[in-house]
Structure formats: C-alpha cells, structure tokens
Structure 1
Amino acid sequence: MKAPSGPQSAASDPASSPPPDLKRKRPSWQVSAQDITSKQQTLHFSNSKRLKPDNSQPPVTLVKKLASAEMYTFSTRSLVPNGNGNGNGNGAIDLTNDTPPSSPHARRVGGSLKGRSNINPHTGAKKLVVKNLKTNTSWDSKAYLEKIWEQLDVALAIIFGDGHDGFSKEDLYRGVENVCRQGGASTLFSRLEGRCRQHVERDIRTALLEKAGSANTTVLKAVLAQWARWKDQMITIRAIFFFLDRSYLLSSSKPTLAELTPQLFRDTVFSHDALKPKIVEGACDLVAADRRKQQTLDKTLFRQAVDMFHELATYTASFEQRFLGMTQQYVLDWSEKIISEKSVPEYIALAEEFIGKEMARCEEFALDASTRRDLLALLEEELVVRKVADLTDYEALASLLDNSAMSSLAALYALLNRKRLGSKLRPAFAKWVDETGTTIVFSKDEDNMIIHLLSLKRRLDLTWRTAFQRDELLGHGLRESFEAFINKTKKGEATWGTDNTKVGEMIAKYVDQLLRGGTRAIPEILTARRSSSITAPPKDVVLPTAAEENHEDDDMDEDTEINIQLDQVLDLFRFVHGKAVFEAFYKKDLARRLLMGRSASADAERSMLARLKTECGAGFTQNLEQMFKDVELAREEMQSYRQRLEDRVGYEKGKHVDISVNILSAAAWPSYPDIPVIIPANIKRSIDGFELHYKSKHSGRKLDWKHALAHCQMRANFNKGSKELVVSSFQAVVLLLFNGIGADEQVPFSHILSESGLPDTEVKRTLQSLACAKLRPLTKHPKGKDINNTDTFTINTNFEHPKYRVKINQVQLKETKEENKETHIRVAEDRNFECQAAVVRIMKGRKTISHQDLVAETIKATVSRGVLAMSDIKKNIDRLIEKDYMEREEGGMYSYIA
C-alpha cells in the first residue's frame, strides 16, 4: 500500500482535526507605517527582500497592485477601522484601501490633514514593518494522540486476528503522520511495541507452548506457521506505521519495525526454554531421517526452517552448532560400522558418496559458507584422518595393487589427499614393490626376469602417474624400493656363491636378445597395443603403450621401436649397483654379435653404447668402444691385404679362397678357448698368407686363431640345383669331408671325428645342425634327433630351398654352467681387487681412520661397480694389512703405511 503524502481533509472538532499550523494557507501580514513619502519610499518586510520604490505612481497604488496580484492576503478581522473605518486601534493601516489614511504624525505636524500635499518630503524614508499574523488556538495534541491510538488499537486487534477489514489504512497512516509531526512518535512506538509484544506472548507463544510436548518436527511445523503468520501481520502494521518508521525510528537508537519483527519473535518465542530445543532438534531430525533413509527429506519444511534461522539471526548460534554436533556423532558411528563391514574400495566409494550428498544439501538449501566449510572439515576428519590407518593398511593396498585396480587406487589417493595424506601410502606402497620385485628377482624363471621387471615397472609408473597424481614422496618411495630389491644379493647357485646381482646379468642378456633379434625379439607385453599372459594386467586396465609414453605415432619403424625398448631397459639398469656384472656379460655378448655379424642394426648397437657412456662414463665403455674400433681397423686391414693380392703377379681372382679376418685386442675382448680342428689345405694356405702379410706390417705381434668364431660361404650341388650355403667353420670342415663321395655312400661318425680333428661334443653338435635340423644337407642313418657314435651319414641329394643362398644355423649351445660360473667368479675377483684399491686410496688420503668410517667410504667408492658384503670388505682389509699397506691401532683405528 502506498502511503499518502499528507492529510486531504480535516476533522471539524479540535480533537479530531489536524492543528491549524498544518493547513496550507497564504500568510497574513500586519503592516505598521509611520510615514509614506511621495518621492522616495522604502518597504521593510520581515524575511523578504528589499523592494525598490516605483516613482511612477503613489505607493498606495503599488501596495494595492501587490494585493490584487494575491501576493498577500490580509485578515479583515485584524484590519477593522477604528472609528473612521480606516484603521484599528493599534495604528495598523489597511493598505488595500484606495484612500490612504492620514498619518498621526502628519496631523501633529500640519495641524490638520489636507491631503498628501501636506506631507513633508524632507523627513526621509520611514521603516515599514510587516509581521506574521498568528492566531492562537486551543489545540490539544495529547487528546489527538489518544484519539488516534484508539483507532490504531482497534486496527491492531483486527490485524492480530488475521482480519483485513474494519479500518482504513490511509486514515490510520494520516493519523500516525500527524502524531509524529506533533512530537508523539516516541510514545506511539512504545505503545506499538508493547501491543505487539503482548500479542506475541499471549497469542503466539501460548498456543505454541500447548504443543511443546509433541514431536520435534511437529513443534517445528507449528513454529514455522506462526512465524509466517507473524511476518504477514507485521507487513500490514509496517504499512500503517511507515511514517513512524522512516521519520523517527531510522534516526533513533530504537529498532525499526523490520528489526522489531524478528526480535520480538526471537526473544519471546524462539528463546523460550521449552520451544528452542524442539525447534532446533526438529530441523536436525529432518536431516537425520534423510541420512538414515527412514524417510525422504521434506525439502520445503527444511528450507523454511533454515530461512527462519537466518531471519531470526539464530543460525550460527543455535542451529549450526547443533547441526554439526549431530553430524559428527552420526559420521563417527557410520564410519566405524562401514570400515568394519566393507572392504577398503567399498568404504572409499561410500565415503565419497556421503561427502557428495552432504555438500549437495548445503548447496541446495543455501547453508552458510561457514557451515559448508566446517561440515567438510568434519567429514574429512572423521572419514579420512581418523581412518588413515585402515586406508593405508598394507593388506588392503596390496590387494588393489595385485589386481591393478586403477580406479580404486585413484579414489583411495584422492580421498586421502583431501587432507594431504596421500603420502601416507608410501610405507605400504614401498613394501609391496619391494616384496613383489624380490619375488621376481629370486624366482627360478630367470629367462623372463627382465620381462617381469619391465612389466612391473610400467604398471607402477602408470599407477604413480594416474592414480597417485605424480605424488613426489610416493615417486621417491617407488624408486628407492626398486633400487633396494634389484640390488639384493643371495649367495646361491644362481650366482655361484658370490655376492653378484643376478639382475645385471639378465639385463645384459635381454639387451643381447633385442640387438640380435630386433623388433621380433620384443616381448608382446612390452610392444604397442599387445598383451601377454606374462604379468598381464587385468581386463579393466589399459597400459599405455611404448608409443604413447614416448609420444610417437602408431606407425613406428624398427629403429624407433628398438630405441624405445632400450630406454626402458636403461631405466632398470640405472637401479643396478653391481654394474661390473652387466659389463662382463654385455661385453661377451657384444663380441659374439660383432664377430658373427648377428647384430640386427648397427645403429642400435652404437645407440646403446652411447647410452651406456652417458650413464656410466667413458671409463665404463672404454673396452666396448675399443671392440668397435678393432672391427673397423680389421676392415681396413683386409682392404689392404686384398689390394696386395691383386697387385701380385699371376694372381687370379676366384681361384683363391677369399677370407676375412678380424684382428682383436686381447685386453679389450673376452678370452675364448682354443678348440682343435684340422683346417682344409686351401684355407690353411690363405690363413698363412694373411698372417705373413700382417706380421710384415706389425712386427712382434702374435696371432691366435679362434676357428670356433669363424663362419664361411660354400657352394654345393644338389639334384635340384646349386645352392650357396652359409655355415660355421666347423660345419664347413664336416661338409668338405663329403666331397668326392657317392650319393649312396655312407660316412660313419668315427671317420668324421678323426678327419675333422674336432672334439667329440663339437662333432655331435655340428652333425646335429646338418642332419637333424629343419634344413638338412646331410641325411642321418638311422633317423633321430640325437647323434650316436654308431650313426652314419650321406649327402641329401634331394635338398631344396626356394632361395639360392641358404643359411644353415649352427646349433647354438646355451651358455654352459662352467662359462657362467667362470664369469661370475671373475667378476667377484675383480670386485675384490677394486675394493682393495679403494681402501688403499682412502687410507692414503686419510692416513688414519676408524673401521666404521673406512667401511662406509669403501662402500661409497665401490657402489657403482658392486658393493661387497661387510664380511668380504673386512677380508680385503685384512689382506691389505698382511701386505703391509696398513696396520691396526688401538681403539679400532687403522693407519696407512707409506
């Protein structure tokens, strides 16, 4: 309702009509004059500007014009003439009369008035005072206030009874305004406040107290209904008392009507001891029932309750505190029950769902930001912090890691990381990695050890990147665990009682497999978009492929694929401390690849060498680089030898055996055993010719021929055509024994053994590759896979192959136990020498040192080549004492002997 700006009419009696000073009227003025001159006049008006005289006409005419223009109105009662009708007894002059009255002063001066001509023009300007005419009335403001309050009290009774008729809001508004203008605002507000308080106490609170024994939600509904009713009543009251609110209450210390509405209800109803607990508990019971899924949350009722708490300014002090306390107790009981009945993944899912619902409720019902903040902190404290021991339990985490449950691991880390507790997984995570890796390292399946380790590394890297969000502490734990189990040693049959790590040996063999076989040698589980039964992840886990990890396209060439695999192997190699074991086996395998031309890619060989040099330094790869240089120098040497043969008189190309020789440095290359063999005469002549040529250029050098490493090409004629056979030197020696023999003539095993000069095992191995393999240029009698001393052999005249050049593979003997043992023992001995050298260097620099410090610095100095056990280090120290390099002193000290 729009409040009127002011009264439109007035009552007839003084008690009901507004006071006269509130009426709008033209002011009455009383004019006193002593003299009016004809030439110069000055009019003085109270609270008005000075008017200049107009000499064109008499002053009376000017005044009359002003009166006729209705600038001023004069009360006729105050200007009644005294006797002659021209004035009153007070000497006031009626300026509206056409004939100006005579001045008393003029009569005194001239004796008689004969008109204006008798006025003395030399007396100067006279002062003319105009006064406001105010009529004194008998207005009674107190009686008016009582009259208006009677009307207001009747209207309030109707409003409190939910009525809307029986009174005029406009008239009541005018009455309130008039009372306020007369200074009765304070009294009026006091009576209004008392009447409202009486209504809230008598009508509202009494009715609610009758229901105080009901259920909490029932009391809450009743209170909300009364609160809504009270607000509607106050809307009408504020419209009537709008002028009081704006003109008086806003500038006073008293509450406005908008403030009075919740204040009265809060102080009288909400704060009552019998109602307040019921109201707050009723709102909390709505949420509790929804959490227990006993009934659906009454969203309208709960929203109204929250709004009421905000409007009454009791949200923080009353509702929020109780709501959080009730929630804490519920979450405590709920979490204890769930963690004991459910698995960790199920608990994580339910906890995240619970937190999500609670936060959604806060958003939906616009709970305060402080409530959302405190509630979230409470939930995280109860569901995460207090359950961190259960969430980081080793058994629970190990189950997830065993099954590669990436989604569950990610949820676990995300839940813990709400309170920055993700790193609490490190002990259990590191323990699982260590135990799993140790099982792989010491398993009997040595051939697949590196495949298992690489697969494990890829799985854990994926877990760390995706599930654990690249947590720095967990990453450190992962690397430390890998380093720990990879360097674990156990004196057993695998390492022939030495402290050598088996991982270094198997890494070298796996690299040899890659460099010999190329992409065909890469295990399926480690290639792009392929899986394998070997440590294959579960169906719901998709491992990133090598191409994806290196941001390569799907169509990768062979060199790129090999390089990716070498990078992965190098990741494992970085964890290995005993790199001397890797060096020994890698050197032996590299020599075989270089001498027999079995490398799949020369670029891959040099790429691996460059990686090792970057990782371990130039000293580590010095011998390996020398091996490559020897191959290059041998190639140049052979070019020089062939050029010398061509320059020789009578040399005809094609009539001599074309040989290719590699000259190897004994210090850089592995040592090979000398296997006796009878070389054919024509090959012997070529060998002697090259040796003569070499010694003529390099005097003082001795050549030891390793025929077991040689291979050759020879032509053979069969019934279905000629073929060029690529065979080893021993295979060639055996095949040459069948020249000039008929197709049906059988050659006994004893004859081959005596004519070739090879050991029995070598003859059997060579004959098995020629007569029992897939490609058989010889036929064994009787047929079988094993070679016996009583077997005989004939030429397979029906040998055929679609290609002209055929490679007959030699039956490759796996590394014998004796060779493996020899390598491990040699490495162990080298490590002892390295340990002694490190001790001597330390003693030479320190002169005097304690036993513990000496052992610690020795381990630090030899860690890159492989650390010995504490007992072995002590044995080496004792050996140096025996050799007089150092001596013992009192207090467990050692001193250096210069």
Structure 2
Amino acid sequence: MAPRKHGPDFSLSKTWEDLSKNIREIQNHNASNLSFEENHRYAYNMVLYKHGETLYNGVRNLVIENLETLAGEEIVPTFPTGTSDPSMQNDEEDVLLKALRKVWDDHRSNMVRLGQILKYMDRSYTKDANVPDTHNMGLQLFLDHIIKPPIKDHLVSAILSQVRHERDGESIHRSTVKGCVDVFLSLEVDRDGTTVYKRDLEPVFLSESQDFYEKEGKRLLHSCDGPEFLRLAEERFEAEASRTNHYLSSQTTQPLLQVLKDNLLTPHLESVISKENSGLDAMVDNSQFDHLSRLFRLCRMVPTGIPCLQASLKKSIIRRGREINQVSLGDDLGDANDAEDVKEKGKGKAKASALGIQPAVTWVQDVLALKDKFDIVWQNSFQSNRELEITLNDAFGTFVNQNEKCSEFISLFIDDNLRRGIKGKTDLEVEAILDKTITIFRFISEKDVFERYYKGHLAKRLLHSRSASDDAEHNMLTKLKIECGVQFTQKMEGMFNDMKISADTTKSYLDHVSKTTAPEIELSVTVMTSNAWPMTNNPSACILPSQMDKACKSFEQFYHSKHSGRRLDWQLNLGNADVHVRFQDRSHELNVSTLALVILLLFENLGDDETLSYSDIKGATSIEPDELKRQLQSLACAKYKVLRKHPSGRDVKESDTFSFNHAFTCPMKKVKIGTISNKVENKEERKETLERIDEERRYQTDACIVRIMKDRKHMKHNDLVNQVTAQLTSKFSPEPMLIKKRIEHLIEKEYLERCEDRKSYNYLA
C-alpha cells in the first residue's frame, strides 16, 4: 500500500520555506505560537516525497547559522581582556564560562525541539543515508562551530585559571566551572568515546598541576616544619579530590592524585621525616599522635612511603637504643659491683644491695620505656600496621643484641623483680611486669646465654629463699617454656623439684634425729641434682669445726640409709647459717654465710685480747684465699663489723690479724652479714662465663650434627650446615665456621666420614 499523503498537492519550495521560517522562530525562542503538528507534517512530507537530503542539509545549515550567530554575539564578546587585576580576571573568566553554558543550554533546547519535529526524518532517512540523527548532528555542529579555536583556547585557559585561583586560596564559582566542564564531557571527538574534556582539558590540567606541585613541594619543604608540611600536603590531597568530584571529572581523580604523590610526597617524604626538631623523632618525643597518624596516611599513598618510614623508624630506635646502651656500659661496671665495697656516705644513698644490679635494672627499664613509647605510636598512629611492627621488633632486636650484656641484664631485672620488686603488687601488675620482660627476652638472639644467667640467678633465689612469690616464679617459668620449649626450662623445673624433695627430706631427717640424740646444730639441707643446678660439682674446700662436721655426718648417714649408691658433696659456699652471738652489751642473732660461721667459731674460745692472723685462719679452715678474703671483708670491713681487723682498712692482706669485736652494737636483734646480692659481672667473670657458654655450644653443635646425620645417613655439606643452623637458632646463631670445625672434630672421632667428592658426609654407626 502506498504511503498516505497529507494535505493538498506537495510543493517543496513552499514547504521548506514555511518550515525553515518556523525553525528560525524556534531558535529565536518564539515557538509558543507555532503548531507542532504543522511543522511535523512539513518535515514528514519532505521525507515522504524523497526530499530527505534537502531537509537534512537545510536543517543542518540553519543550526550552523544559529551557532555562528550565538558565538559571535554571546561568546566572543566575553573573551578576557588580559587584565592583571586578579579580581577582574576572575570575573571575566566567570562571564566567559557562563556564556558558553548559556549557548550550550540554548542549543540543546533547540535541538530537542527540532528532534521532535524531525522524528520521521531520523527514523526513515538518517539511517539509510548513514548520517547522524538530529541529536548527534547537533552535538557535532556545536563541537565544530563553538568548541574550536580561539573559543576553545579561551575556555580551557579560563578553567585552568579558575583552578589556579582556588589553589591560591581565592573563591570561585564552582558551579560555573562545572557547567563548562559538563559541556566538554558531553562532546565526543571520536568513536572511541574520547571527549573534549579528555582530549583538550585534562592533559593540560594535569601538566599544569605537575608544574604547580613540583614548585609547591619545594616551597613547603623550605618554609614549613614537618607537621605543617604534612598538614598542608594532606589538605592539598583533600582539596584536589574535592575539586575533581565537584566541578571537574571523577575520571581525573586518580591521575591528579598521582601527580601529587609524584611531586608533592615522594621527593620530599624522607626530608620531612628527618627534619631536625620537627621530623619523626620530634613527633615521637612530643607524643604528637595526630601528626604521626597523618604521616602514616600519607606514607601509605606512595610506594616508597612505608619503606621510607620503616627505615626512619629503625634508624630512630637504634639511635635511641645505642644511647641507652652507652649509658649502661659507659663505666666499668665491675669496679663497684660488690655491694660490700660501697661506702655509705650519708643519707640519700642507694642501698648497697641494690647498687650491684642497678645498671641492669635501669637498662631494662629504659628499654621497656622506649618500647612502650613506640608501641603507643604504633597502635595509636600507625594502625597496628604489620610491616611497621616487624620493623620495630627488628630495630629493638638490633640494639638490644648490640649490648653484649643484654642477657645478663634481663636476667638480673627478672631476679630483682622476683626477689623484691613484686611486693605489694597485685597479680595483674605482676603479670604485666613479667609480660614486659618476656617482650625484651624475645629480642635476644643468644638465648643460651640468658639461660645460663637465669639458671644461676634462679638457683640463688631458691637456695637463699629470696623469692617473693612461688606463683610468680612458676608463672615466669611457664612463659619461658612457651617461648622456647620444654627443653629450655627442663633443668630449671628440676631445680624446683629438688627444692620440694629437699624440704621433705629435711623434715624426715629432723623427725629422725628428734627420736635419737640430736646434734648441736639444726640442719636444713638442700640436695641438688648435679646436672640440674648451674653450680660447680667440686666440693668446697673447708675444714669444718667438730660440731658442724658431726651434723653433716649425721645427715649423710641418714641420707645414705634412704638412698644407696648416691654421693653427697657439700657446697658450703652456697649455704648460710643463723648463729646466736653474745657481745658485751647484748646478744644478737647473726645470719651469715656457712663459711663465715666456720671463721666465727674459731674466735669462740679466745680471750678478749687474743687475735688470729690471716695465716692462722687459713690454716684452720683451708678456705681458698680469694674466698677467705671475701668472707673476712664481710665480717670485719663491711657495715656490721663483728670482727676487728688489725690494722684497720678495707682490703684484707695476708699480714693482717683479727680479733672478736666484743663492743659490737646494733639496734636490731637479728642482723644479716655478708648477704651479697646478684651483681653485674666484671670483665674477668664475664670472660669465664663466655668460655663456659662456648664450650656448651660446642657440645650442643656436636649433638645436633650427630642427630641429623643419624637420621639422614648422608648429607651434603651445605645442607647439613643449613639444618644445624635451623635447629640451633632458637638458642643461638651458630657461625658456619663453628659448624665446620665441629664436623671436622666428629670426623676425627669417627662419628662421620667425608665422601670422595669432598662435599658430603656419611654417618658412621
């Protein structure tokens, strides 16, 4: 069926004349009196009578004509005059951008009306003719006749200038800029969807932003302190994100922020962190958690940020730690370690019993305070970041192990707390102290050194009944077991077991002697298993007075009756005794070491003016010279002088003589003499300790190699070294050379043999 024709006979010239006249009226905003049906019929008939091309081109020309008119009348007159007055420049740019938006809104409104009229043309002609429909034709014509030089250049310049004004702190009309940017975003310049914004505005904007922030970064670095730089930098990031979200395009957000990262942060972060008096160190010292939080947020934005922060944190902690080490190791700690060598010079002096370990306690407390400081920063400002936690622990481990006495210091600190430091504290407070100590213990790389010191200090606490709390002792042992395994605490648990068995044994012995003839001396004996206690197995050289010797033999007889095949070696240097002594004015109960009691008993039956020479005492007791001098110093040269030394002085010489001090007085009924606390080792003692540790390490390395080779039978040298290192790392870090020497030793002992390739070994059963 043929299409139905509307109206009277068709006249192309008449139809187009009427339609074009009405289109101009629409463009001049006089469409209210026009008939939509009539205009639609004009366009319909032109297409129907095969004049679609004429209609399309005619409409196109009318749109071009209108756009050219609008450009000349509305936009060009608003071009900025190039004034240097910022306020006038801002106003002129604002007028230009508004003019563009006005023309765009006008053009778009016209194209909507034309599209309604030309619906039939769009449906029947444009597809077949392969030309844009009315809407797309309008966009293309606007792009060709409005967004072109010099209008486009002025628009881009105005937008960039508005951004500069805002970056400099001036106020702009964001909605005006957004209106122009929206036009750029609506106009595509190719089939890939690239817009005018993406092609003409964003690249220039990013380039100018790069120049701006390159200069801004340098300016802030030289004019601001650390916190101020960080604050302004973060404000810049927030401002740029706001800018792209409010009047530019969200597609520019990431490229723009990358410009800031590359030019404002990355080149200057390290300098800001290391700024003197305002960098990382100052922020930590002044507990500026907000500034540190901002620093962390900014560091996370750039790839080099967290590594830079890690390096600075490690450097800061190690520097602070070295200062702590220098303070604790600045003097020869062995010179004044013996508490009995300290003169009391008036009130306000520390007690002698505390002086020997004070450097150790102070060092641990300083390390704990430093750890607390950085833990608070890590939690409050660094969001408990795992990477930074590893860095903090690594830094603390570095400087802690740079202190060659770290193991001894930590053991002494625990000893001090378990002896007297926990008195008056709640269970939670005690738990907190022990947990903090374990925190530092984890940093120690040579845990076997700590183990040796801790066993020694624990033994003295147990033997001298100095532990303030058995629960705290066992709690600490449990924590060490969790950290290092059962083998680490096995001998320590054996010591506790010996103490329990010894208490039962002593009770049984006292029950036994109460039924027979009781000795003059009441004994309380601790029977120590030789391989569990860190004491020498050599019996103390000493000739006991008859009454003491009789008591010892009485216990030996009782013990051997219960345990056949066992040998008892008396460690008299580890014991103590309570003895009642009558002086001129009153009697006192003295608590002295066992060896001191042996010496005192030599004066029991002497006359008031009689003396004993050093040689007499030595011959009567057979106590080793060094130990004898130490005991005589405690009795005659310390605070409580129950003996008199002739001539007087602080050092005991072989030419000295001694007499009983009948005139001794003291307000206290019970007096402790010669109770010397644990102390930091001097150089000679430390040398001896390290030699013993080296010897133990050789044995441990031998045992480890044999265990591995017994299981594997055959191994290459490098694989064996790696396995041994991995197994021993929990106690100490073995040097490859040590492992190699021990392998050679085991080859000589025929536990291993070297293979023909000279690079591997066989186990010899």
The TM-score with structure 1 as length reference comes to: 0.64
Within 5 Å, which residues of 2 pair with 1:518-557?
A: 518-519=421-422, 557=425
Q: Which residue matches 2:339?
A: none
Q: Which residue matches 1:799?
A: 666
Q: Which residue matches 1:350?
A: 232
Q: Is the partner of 2:284 in helix, strand or coil?
A: coil
- Alpha-carbon offset, residue 210 of structure 1: 6.0
Contact preservation (8 Å) 2:74, 2:99 = no
Q: Answer 1 or 2: which has greater helix percent.
A: 2
2:420 to 492, 505, 517: 517
1:302 to 169, 177, 187: 177
- Alpha-carbon offset, residue 287 of structure 1: 1.1
Within 5 Å, which residues of 2 pair with 1:625-640?
A: 625-640=493-508
Within 5 Å, which residues of 2 pair with 1:869-880?
A: 869-880=735-746
Contact preservation (8 Å) 1:423, 1:471 = no
The answer to whether 1:729 aligns with 2:594 is yes
Cα distance change, pair 150–693 in 1 and its aligned pair in 2 (3 A): closer
Cα distance change, pair 383–746 in 1 and its aligned pair in 2 (3 A): farther
Whole-angstrom distance in 2 between the partners of 1:888 and 1:153: 104
Whole-angstrom distance in 1 between the partners of 2:506 and 2:64: 120
* CA deviation profile, 1:852-881 (whole Å, cap 9, x unmatched): 344333333433443443333333333333
The answer to whether 1:661 aligns with 2:542 is no
The amino acid of 1:201's aligned partner reads E
The amino acid of 2:571's aligned partner reads K
Within 5 Å, which residues of 2 pair with 1:326-725?
A: 326-335=208-217, 338=220, 347-363=229-245, 365-384=246-265, 387=267, 390=270, 400=280, 404=284, 409-419=292-302, 423-425=306-308, 426=310, 444=329, 447-448=359-360, 449-479=363-393, 502-519=405-422, 557-648=425-516, 656-669=520-533, 670-671=535-536, 674-676=539-541, 679-715=544-580, 724-725=589-590
- Alpha-carbon offset, residue 224 of structure 1: 3.9
- Alpha-carbon offset, residue 356 of structure 1: 1.5
Contact preservation (8 Å) 1:144, 1:179 = no
Larger Rg: 1
- Alpha-carbon offset, residue 775 of structure 1: 5.7
2:68 to 192, 196, 201: 201
Q: Is the partner of 1:619 in helix, strand or coil?
A: helix
Whole-angstrom distance in 2 between the partners of 1:748 and 1:354: 90
The amino acid of 1:833's aligned partner reads Y
Cα distance change, pair 407–860 in 1 and its aligned pair in 2 (3 A): same
The amino acid of 2:250's aligned partner reads A
The amino acid of 1:444's aligned partner reads L
Cα distance change, pair 276–672 in 1 and its aligned pair in 2 (3 A): same
Whole-angstrom distance in 2 between the partners of 1:735 and 1:283: 102
Q: Which residue matches 1:96?
A: none
Q: Is the partner of 1:795 in helix, strand or coil?
A: coil
Whole-angstrom distance in 1 between the partners of 2:600 and 2:555: 24
Q: Which residue matches 1:16?
A: none
Structure 2 runs not aligned, ≥5 long: 1-5, 47-53, 83-88, 127-131, 189-195, 334-358
Within 5 Å, which residues of 2 pair with 1:217-296?
A: 220-224=93-97, 226-227=99-100, 230=103, 246=116, 249=119, 252=122, 266-268=143-145, 270-292=146-168, 296=171
- Alpha-carbon offset, residue 808 of structure 1: 4.3
* CA deviation profile, 1:567-605 (whole Å, cap 9, x unmatched): 333334345454332332222222211111111211122
Cα distance change, pair 486–860 in 1 and its aligned pair in 2 (3 A): farther
Whole-angstrom distance in 2 between the partners of 1:732 and 1:809: 11
The amino acid of 1:325's aligned partner reads S
Q: Which residue matches 1:835?
A: 701
The amino acid of 2:507's aligned partner reads Q
Q: Which residue matches 1:19?
A: none
Number of residue-to-residue matches in the alignment? 692
Within 5 Å, which residues of 2 pair with 1:740-779?
A: 748=611, 750=613, 754=617, 757=621, 762=627, 765-766=630-631, 768-769=633-634
Contact preservation (8 Å) 2:217, 2:268 = no
Q: Which residue matches 1:214?
A: 81
Contact preservation (8 Å) 1:776, 1:796 = no
Whole-angstrom distance in 1 between the partners of 2:504 and 2:574: 20
Cα distance change, pair 251–644 in 1 and its aligned pair in 2 (3 A): farther
Whole-angstrom distance in 1 between the partners of 2:636 and 2:136: 111
Whole-angstrom distance in 2 between the partners of 1:304 and 1:342: 37
Whole-angstrom distance in 1 between the partners of 2:78 and 2:153: 13
Structure 1 runs not aligned, ≥5 long: 1-21, 23-136, 161-166, 489-493, 495-500, 521-555
Contact preservation (8 Å) 2:495, 2:532 = yes
- Alpha-carbon offset, residue 276 of structure 1: 0.9
Whole-angstrom distance in 2 between the partners of 1:740 and 1:716: 12
Whole-angstrom distance in 2 between the partners of 1:453 and 1:763: 39
Q: Is the partner of 2:454 in helix, strand or coil?
A: helix
Deviates most, 771-780 or 668-677: 771-780
Deviates most, 571-580 or 353-362: 571-580
Contact preservation (8 Å) 1:831, 1:865 = no
Whole-angstrom distance in 1 between the partners of 2:751 and 2:554: 52
Q: Is the partner of 1:666 in helix, strand or coil?
A: coil
The amino acid of 1:469's aligned partner reads Q
Whole-angstrom distance in 1 between the partners of 2:486 and 2:546: 45
- Alpha-carbon offset, residue 647 of structure 1: 2.6
- Alpha-carbon offset, residue 299 of structure 1: 4.5
Whole-angstrom distance in 2 between the partners of 1:230 and 1:614: 78
Cα distance change, pair 205–185 in 1 and its aligned pair in 2 (3 A): farther
Q: Is the partner of 2:661 in helix, strand or coil?
A: strand
Whole-angstrom distance in 2 between the partners of 1:272 and 1:733: 113
Contact preservation (8 Å) 1:388, 1:416 = no
The TM-score with structure 2 as length reference comes to: 0.73
Contact preservation (8 Å) 2:178, 2:248 = no
Whole-angstrom distance in 2 between the partners of 1:389 and 1:151: 67
Task: Give the number of the structure with larger relative contact order, counting CA–CA contacts within 8 Å between residues 6 or more apart.
Answer: 2
Cα distance change, pair 855–812 in 1 and its aligned pair in 2 (3 A): same
* CA deviation profile, 1:793-817 (whole Å, cap 9, x unmatched): 633465213xx55544524585565
Whole-angstrom distance in 1 between the partners of 2:307 and 2:37: 72
Contact preservation (8 Å) 1:224, 1:308 = no
Root mean square deviation of aligned Cα: 5.0
- Alpha-carbon offset, residue 831 of structure 1: 1.8
Cα distance change, pair 663–147 in 1 and its aligned pair in 2 (3 A): closer
* CA deviation profile, 1:117-161 (whole Å, cap 9, x unmatched): xxxxxxxxxxxxxxxxxxxx999999998998899699789x58x
Cα distance change, pair 736–843 in 1 and its aligned pair in 2 (3 A): closer
Whole-angstrom distance in 2 between the partners of 1:320 and 1:625: 74
Whole-angstrom distance in 1 between the partners of 2:175 and 2:761: 89
Whole-angstrom distance in 2 between the partners of 1:335 and 1:185: 67
Cα distance change, pair 597–259 in 1 and its aligned pair in 2 (3 A): same
Q: Is the partner of 1:858 in helix, strand or coil?
A: helix
Deviates most, 182-191 or 458-467: 182-191
Cα distance change, pair 485–842 in 1 and its aligned pair in 2 (3 A): farther
Cα distance change, pair 435–213 in 1 and its aligned pair in 2 (3 A): closer
Q: Which residue matches 2:85?
A: none
